[in-house]
Amino acid sequence: MSRYGTDSSAPLRVLVVEDEPAEAELTIRKVRSIADLRTEIKHVETLAEAKSYLISNQADVILLDLELPNGRGLESLRLVRRIPRVPPIIVLTGADSEGDAIRAIAEEGAQSYIPKEVLTVENVRRILLYAVARHEYKLRELEAQRALYVTEAASERR
């Protein structure tokens, strides 16, 4: 089970980057409806707001619409991924954007995607928790590799 739960002291911090108010409200409502998951949700409408927020705040996961006014398609994802310490990103797509969503994962490092047409509480819960778990595993793996490298480098100097 995830460390994010109703009896956990740490809520899952979700940043929703969506410019359409109705889409944002639907996404936020689905995330808040996850019964066994405490969340803190921040909604922003632009990439600039997302960057500003992430510079001074932490998020555990980002739900990112690929069709924002100041960034189109994969360019939106590229811009967000340039932010230091960026958390895992899940792209929100329309029915006609599935190709971009697959490329977002394969080429640009998104953790997953959710087509807006099938945005359900169950899908959102599963995808949020899996994305965070995969990201945390990747960070632990990188730290283990770094520690091994340091150990090997130190033993070679002796």
* 157 within domain boundaries: no
Instruction: Give the chain's domain count.
Output: 1
* 125 within domain boundaries: yes
Q: Can you give the residue range of the structural domain that contains 62?
A: 12-133
* 2 within domain boundaries: no
pTM here is 0.86
Give 82-103 pLDDT, tens digit per residue.
888 899 999 998 867 788 889 9
* 6 within domain boundaries: no
Band (pLDDT 50/70/90 cuts) for residue 8 is: low
Q: Which residue has the higher pLDDT, 24 or 150?
A: 24
Q: Which residue has the higher pLDDT, 95 or 125?
A: 125
Per-residue model confidence (pLDDT) at position 11: 92
Per-residue model confidence (pLDDT) at position 72: 77
- Residue 47 in contact with residue 81, Cβ under 8 Å? no
Band (pLDDT 50/70/90 cuts) for residue 25 is: very high
Q: How far is CA 10 from CA 2, 7, 13, 39, 125, in A?
A: 11, 9, 9, 8, 16
Q: Which residue has the higher pLDDT, 148 or 9?
A: 148
How are beta strands 67-68 and 71-72 bridged, if at all? Answer: antiparallel
Q: Which residue has the higher pLDDT, 149 or 104?
A: 104
* CA-CA-CA-CA torsion sign (50, 25, 89, 1): positive
Q: How far is CA 127 from CA 57, 147, 155, 158, in A?
A: 22, 30, 42, 47
User: What CATH number did the domain enclosing 34 receive?
Assistant: 3.40.50.2300
Per-residue model confidence (pLDDT) at position 42: 97
Per-residue model confidence (pLDDT) at position 98: 80
* 129 within domain boundaries: yes
